């Protein structure tokens, strides 16, 4: 009996996270030198891993998404509406995040014994993104990926994806689309491996962060940042989207109640892609949405309609840039609304997808991401809320298009 119980014992993800946090706290609090050194090495290693994999993953996600959807006969208008509504709601979500960020104004996570900012590796050069607009077009196609120019890489991905989708040669189109889809699949597998060892990264980030807290860091600003992220998701999900549904003559909270089974699964699974079959079934059974529409729109929305992700990316990138002494004007923040929206399109719809995206954007600009170690313990809850919002937004877009098609 004991042997049976022993062989069936498995460490859950939650217990691994708890172990990583506990060891990090003990190692930093009691100043266990070999744990502190190991934490620094692990932290640096994972920063390199994020920088290596994230930008190609975003690029391949965008290309694979845009290349695999063709204008089926009679579906051209549906495609255009889906694209318009998904991009529109995602832009609004990022805008809500910006407004809340400006209103709440999270303070810096400061180190009063050092430079006054979170990291002693603060960049001394402000990033004036408006000055980069003229240099978005690279001199060769690999330049943005080699130099980690995020905006240039996203622009190339958009152009390539749209070009593949517009190809007239079906054989060539299918071949190149299959190549990018397969390559994207490889990176998703690698990302899955990284997610499984995230507790190790958590240990490294936490021990580095707690060491700085002991040296005099003030983390009051973290509460303001978390408030911005959660409140942006809540307002988008319970105010903005219901108002949109109401403007289209659809009862918002009756719709919300009808799709609650799918939202519940999304909340606990933290994967909009994994929830997709239940979302389709719920939409068709409870909302009576035309299966032809639901089975075309919902998979597309699951890939590109990332309201919660855009809100998180905006708040996280701006917060870390602010904490590392990078000057941000209102115009720069407005530009980041569009960058966050475009980056969210590349989210893989898997747990921690937005976290990887944010890490990629920051590391590609050489912004230190050690502060993500303080955010990571809270990200599980953030991810649950974001995924629920993403699925809810997918349903809203589908419901609106279905309602308009019947009008």
pLDDT in tens, 184-203: 888 878 877 877 787 787 78
Give the model confidence (pLDDT) of 17-49 as tens digits. Answer: 678 778 877 887 777 888 888 887 887 787 777
Which residues does 290 contact at the CB level (< 8 Å), separation at least 6? 402, 405
In 3D space, the residue among 224, 235, 229 whose CA is nearest the CA of residue 89 turns out to be 235
Tell me, rounded to whole angstroms, the distance of Cα 392 from its chain centroid: 16
Residue 116's pLDDT is 42
How much is the average pLDDT of 171-195? Answer: 84
- pLDDT at res. 60: 81
Q: Exposed/middle/buried for 114, CB within 10 Å: 0-12, 13-18, 19+? A: middle
Phi, psi of 325 (to 5 degrees): 75, 20
Q: Is the pLDDT of residue 230 over 90?
A: yes
This model's pTM is above 0.85 = no
Question: What pLDDT shows up at residue 126?
Answer: 42
Predicted confidence band of residue 348 (pLDDT cuts 50, 70, 90): low
- For the chain, the structural domain boundaries read 14-406
More confident residue, 237 or 268: 237
Contact 242, 371 (CB under 8 A): no
At 4, is the pLDDT very low, low, confident or very high (cuts 50, 70, 90)?
very low
What percent of the chain has a predicted confidence (pLDDT) above 90? 21
- ∠72-88-268 over CA atoms, to 5°? 90
**Any idea of the CA torsion for 304, 307, 309, 315, to the nearest 10 degrees?**
140
What average pLDDT does the segment 392-402 reach?
94
Tens digit of each residue's pLDDT (9 = 90 or more) over 308-336: 889 999 999 999 988 888 877 888 888 88
Q: Is residue 69 over pLDDT 70?
A: no
Measured CA to CA, the distance from residue 31 to residue 213 in angstroms comes to 13
> 271-297: string of b/e by CB count within 10 Å (b at 16+)?
bbbbbbebbbebbbebbebbeebbebb
- For the 14-406 domain, the top CATH level (class) is mainly alpha
Q: How far apart are the first and last CA of the chain?
A: 64
Nearest to 62 by CA among 153, 132, 138: 153
* Angle (CA) 321 241 93, round 5°: 10
Q: How confident is the model at residue 209 (pLDDT cuts 50, 70, 90)?
A: low
Helices and strands (H and E) in the chain: how many: 18, 2
Average pLDDT over residues 247-269: 88
């Amino acid at each position: 009996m004991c042997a049976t119980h022993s062989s069936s014992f498995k460490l859950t993800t939650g217990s691994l996270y708890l172990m990583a946090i506990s060891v990090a706290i003990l190692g930093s609090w009691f100043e266990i030198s070999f744990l502190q050194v190991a934490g620094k090495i692990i932290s640096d290693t994972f920063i390199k891993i994020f920088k290596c994999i994230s930008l190609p993953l975003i690029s391949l996600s965008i290309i694979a998404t845009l290349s695999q959807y063709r204008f089926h006969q009679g579906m051209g208008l549906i495609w255009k509406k889906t694209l318009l509504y998904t991009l529109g709601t995602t832009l609004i979500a990022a805008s809500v995040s910006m407004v809340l960020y400006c209103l709440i104004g999270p303070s810096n996570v400061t180190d009063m014994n050092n430079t006054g900012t979170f990291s002693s590796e603060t960049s001394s050069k402000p990033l004036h993104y408006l000055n980069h607009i003229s240099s978005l077009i690279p001199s060769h196609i690999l330049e943005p990926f080699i130099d980690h120019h995020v905006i240039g890489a996203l622009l190339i991905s958009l152009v390539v994806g749209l070009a593949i989708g517009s190809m007239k040669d079906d054989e060539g189109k299918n071949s190149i689309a299959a190549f990018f889809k397969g390559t994207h699949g490889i990176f998703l597998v690698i990302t899955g491996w990284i997610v499984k060892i995230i507790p190790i990264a958590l240990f490294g980030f936490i021990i580095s962060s707690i060491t700085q807290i002991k040296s005099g860091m003030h983390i009051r600003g973290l509460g303001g940042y978390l408030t911005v992220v959660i409140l942006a998701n809540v307002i988008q999900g319970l105010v903005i989207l219901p108002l949109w549904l109401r403007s289209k003559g659809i009862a918002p909270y009756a719709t919300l109640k009808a799709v609650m089974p799918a939202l519940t699964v999304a909340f606990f699974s933290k994967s909009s892609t994994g929830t997709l079959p239940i979302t389709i079934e719920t939409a068709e059974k409870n909302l009576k949405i035309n299966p032809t529409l639901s089975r075309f729109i919902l998979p597309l929305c699951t890939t590109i309609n990332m309201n919660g992700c855009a809100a998180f990316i905006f708040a996280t990138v701006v917060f870390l840039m602010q904490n590392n002494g990078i000057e941000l004007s209102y115009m720069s923040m407005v530009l980041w609304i569009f960058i966050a929206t475009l980056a969210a399109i590349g989210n893989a719809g898997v747990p921690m997808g937005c976290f990887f995206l944010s890490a990629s954007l920051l590391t590609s600009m050489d912004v230190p991401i050690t502060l993500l170690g303080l955010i990571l313990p809270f990200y599980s809850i953030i991810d649950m809320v974001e995924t629920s919002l993403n699925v809810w937004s997918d349903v809203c877009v589908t419901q609106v298009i279905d309602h308009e098609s019947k009008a």
